[in-house]
């Protein structure tokens, strides 16, 4: 796979910590599909990695707890007929998954107070609209 696979900033996925498994992919493909192992499974040991800073690692382990099996995250790709393109797809998926899982939590929302004048104007307009609609009724029969 060409080039380093950047998670975020200067942190990259080390090629040595990636484990690959290949199997036969389902779906169309003709006679060739019965003989080639084009489906790709990419395994990354998140619990034992030294590539991620400790804070990122803890955050990712917490957020990906449902996807982990013994601290290992698995990504599958079988959309393409070529094993090479499926490998690229799996790497991209893993990098984006880790980028999302290691992202810092969003800043807490600060409650804002509606200015008094805006609220009064809203109530005034609401009352005027109500009067307009009340004037449309024909109760003078």
pLDDT 10s digits, 66-121: 888 888 899 998 888 788 899 899 999 998 998 888 888 889 999 999 899 999 99
What distance lies between CA 67 and its chain's CA centroid? 13
% of the chain at pLDDT higher than 70: 87
The C-alpha atoms of residue 99 and residue 7 are separated, in whole angstroms, by 5
Please report the beta strands in 14-134, taking only residues with DSSP state E, as ranges in sequence order.
18-23, 39-45, 72-77
The confidence score (pLDDT) of residue 53 equals 86
Cα 129 to Cα 24, 25, 118, 124, 125: the distances in Å are 68, 64, 16, 9, 6
Of residues 2 and 84, more confidence is placed in 84
Query: Which range has the top average pLDDT, 11-15, 23-27, 43-47?
Result: 43-47
Closest by CA position to 14, among listed 86, 98, 128, 80:
98
The C-alpha atoms of residue 85 and residue 77 are separated, in whole angstroms, by 9
How much is the mean pLDDT over the chain?
Answer: 85
* pLDDT for 137 beyond 70: yes
* pLDDT for 1 beyond 70: no
- DSSP annotation of 69 reads B
The tokens for 104 are 């810092």
């Amino acid at each position: 796979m060409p080039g380093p696979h950047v998670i975020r900033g200067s942190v990259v996925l080390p090629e040595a910590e990636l484990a690959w498994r290949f199997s036969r992919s389902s779906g169309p493909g003709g006679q060739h599909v019965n003989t080639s192992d084009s489906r790709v499974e990419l395994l990354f040991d998140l619990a034992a990695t030294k590539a991620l800073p400790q804070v990122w690692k803890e955050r990712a382990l917490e957020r990906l707890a449902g996807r982990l099996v013994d601290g290992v995250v698995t990504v599958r790709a079988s959309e393409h007929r070529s094993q090479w393109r499926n490998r690229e797809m799996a790497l991209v998926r893993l990098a984006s998954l880790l980028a999302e899982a290691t992202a810092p939590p969003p800043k807490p929302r600060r409650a804002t107070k509606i200015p008094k004048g805006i609220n009064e104007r809203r109530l005034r307009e609401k009352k005027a609209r109500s009067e307009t609609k009340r004037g449309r009724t024909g109760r003078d029969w």
